[in-house]
């Protein structure tokens, strides 16, 4: 099964670079590499399902909804329990080309259940990245304090400085 890190890699695969949205999964060989790194095989169908799942999850977390796309990814999927020496293991019953996409959705569902309200978009309106807030206070606002946080704080400071009348 995919973990939190793989989920964040997928969600953050469409960053804004120099003011333009870039899709790190646009090139087939890049997405195939990611898929193989996470137990997939690559190929047209697997790529199509992964992009569909990623886009739907980004939409869900951005508040624009994508339930119909998630239903399509999860259609006919079953998880069955199997006893093992360490307890119960869940076996995923899905076509091989959809397995990673389904695991991606299940990783998202797991994070939203275990850590409600902690997965969210960066508050920088020019950014397309997401963050998983692991802070105790759950107050993280930006994907990165070094980039988005500092930029927004600097802009606010400059705006306040312009508004404050300067002594003669």
Most confidently predicted of 10-19, 43-52, 57-66, 135-144: 43-52
Structure confidence at residue 168 (pLDDT): 61
As a whole number, the mean pLDDT across the chain is 89
* Domain extent listing, the chain: 4-163
Q: What are the pLDDT digits (tens) for 34-92?
A: 999 999 999 999 999 999 999 999 999 998 889 999 999 999 999 999 999 999 999 99
Q: What are the pLDDT digits (tens) for 146-162?
A: 668 555 455 554 556 66
Q: What is the DSSP string of 19-83?
A: TEE--TTSSHHHHHHHHHHTT----HHHHHHHHHHHHHHHHHHHTS--HHHHHHHHTT-EEEEEE
- Residues pairing with 119 in the sheet: 132
Mean pLDDT within 103-109? 97
Q: How far is CA 32 from CA 55, 108, 115, 137, in A?
A: 17, 21, 29, 37
d(Cα 61, Cα 120) in Å, to the nearest integer? 6
For residue 28, name the pLDDT band (cuts at 50, 70, 90): very high
Structure confidence at residue 126 (pLDDT): 84
- What's the whole-model pTM score? 0.85
If one looks up domain 4-163 in CATH, what number appears? 1.10.3300
124: its two tokens: 């920088």
């Amino acid at each position: 099964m995919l973990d939190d890190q793989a989920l964040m890699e997928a969600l953050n695969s469409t960053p804004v670079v120099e003011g333009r949205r870039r899709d790190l999964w646009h090139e087939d060989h890049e997405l195939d590499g990611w898929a193989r790194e996470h137990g997939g095989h690559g190929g047209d169908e697997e790529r199509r399902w992964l992009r569909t799942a990623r886009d739907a999850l980004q939409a869900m977390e951005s508040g624009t909804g994508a339930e119909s796309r998630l239903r399509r990814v999860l259609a006919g999927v079953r998880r069955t329990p199997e006893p093992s020496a360490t307890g119960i293991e869940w076996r995923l019953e899905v076509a091989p080309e959809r397995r990673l996409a389904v695991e991606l959705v299940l990783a998202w569902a797991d994070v939203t259940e275990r850590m409600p309200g902690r997965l969210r978009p960066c508050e920088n309106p020019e950014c397309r990245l997401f963050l998983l807030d692991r802070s105790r206070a759950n107050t993280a606002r930006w994907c990165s304090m070094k980039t988005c946080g500092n930029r927004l704080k600097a802009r606010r400071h400059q705006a306040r400085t312009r508004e404050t009348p300067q002594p003669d």
